[in-house]
Amino acid sequence: MTELARFSINQMTVKQLSLPELADSCGRLGIPNVGLWREPVQSYGVDATAKLIRDAGLGVTTLCRGGFLTAIDPAERAAALDDNRRAVDEAAALGTDTLVLVSGGLPAGSKDLRGARERIADALGELGPYAERHGVRLAIEPLHPMYAADRCVVSTLAQALDLAERFPAHQVGVTVDTYHIWWDDDAPAQIARAGAGDRIHTFQLADWTTPLPAGVLNGRGQIGDGSIDMREWKGYVEAAGYTGPIEVELFNDGLWARDGREVLEETARRFVEHVIR
């Protein structure tokens, strides 16, 4: 089905499916790509996952996620860098060129956003060359400002690009995810900036629905259910030269409580309806 040619389903959207179920369902629905997460991949085995996905003829658009690079404590920091090198290794083994990075929040007791952002830059300086040697690009994901304290001190595309542009584009770029940036009137200009520098390493979709649930983690809306004009954002990344896969990544307790195959089919249908047609 040609309308799904650019579609990628991020594994978290249907985390109730095992990896074999996911691969099988993608085959049945004509879904050509998946985005994978480290934890389920590690549980199934990295090599076993790579073989499963390869045998199913699926592309792997991203591995989620590395990052959490804001620790001050030297031992914590070294452990984070080690873990990110393993994430690069896993991405390479899975056959994806893109590792998504969630930068990390403020260390306990700290109020210093600027300092935390600088420590991310330092870490990228160590990880970028390592990733390049393995054929993997790091994709800094700005997360919505509501996560600035506890999850990701990089809150806008402008901040992500300020970090990324200190390094070559084939080492460090950005993740453009509608959920995190849709409110930002500067984001279209930043997408153009990212495209001009060849730094749009992945494009992800989720819709914005309210009310937000407690903890604000698992309320990402199904495509078409919320406030975001998906075609508009697709237009921005395309005008910036991005013609790659479009990944739908939803964290949603309501979707997780349903039959995974049904959610997968619905998500593909919504993608065609709200993004492609």
Nearer to its own copies, 60 or 223 (CB): 223
Nearer to its own copies, 26 or 140 (CB): 140
The H or E element spanning position 47 is helix 46-55
Nearer to its own copies, 55 or 277 (CB): 277
**d(C-alpha 256, C-alpha 237), whole Å:** 29
Q: From the CB of 214, what's the least distance to its own copies, in Å?
A: 4
Give the Å distances, CA to CA, from 18 to 1, 14, 36.
24, 9, 12
The contacts of residue 229 (CB under 8 Å, 6+ apart) are: none
Q: From the CB of 203, what's the least distance to its own copies, in Å?
A: 18
Q: From the CB of 158, what's the least distance to its own copies, in Å?
A: 8
Q: What is the 8-class DSSP label of residue 272?
A: I
Q: Which two tokens stand for residue 194?
A: 């990212």
Nearer to its own copies, 97 or 207 (CB): 207
Nearer to its own copies, 182 or 271 (CB): 182
Q: From the CB of 216, what's the least distance to its own copies, in Å?
A: 5
Q: What is the DSSP string of 123-137?
A: HHHHHHHHHHHTT-E
**3 state SS of 220:** strand
Q: From the CB of 57, what's the least distance to its own copies, in Å?
A: 36
Q: Which of 271, 181, 183, 171 is nearest to 231 (CA)?
A: 271
Q: From the CB of 50, what's the least distance to its own copies, in Å?
A: 36
Give the Å distances, CA to CA, from 150 to 101, 141, 146, 157, 180.
15, 15, 9, 18, 15
Nearer to its own copies, 90 or 207 (CB): 207
The H or E element spanning position 205 is strand 200-205
Residues that bind its own copies (CB under 8 A): 106, 110-114, 144-146, 148-150, 155-156, 158-159, 182-186, 208, 210-216, 226-229, 232
Nearer to its own copies, 74 or 215 (CB): 215
**d(C-alpha 272, C-alpha 270), whole Å:** 5
Nearer to its own copies, 111 or 277 (CB): 111
Q: State the first-to-last Cα distance of the chain, in angstroms, to the nearest integer.
A: 13
Q: From the CB of 36, what's the least distance to its own copies, in Å?
A: 27
Q: From the CB of 190, what's the least distance to its own copies, in Å?
A: 12
Q: What are phi and psi of 194, to 5 degrees?
A: -65, -45
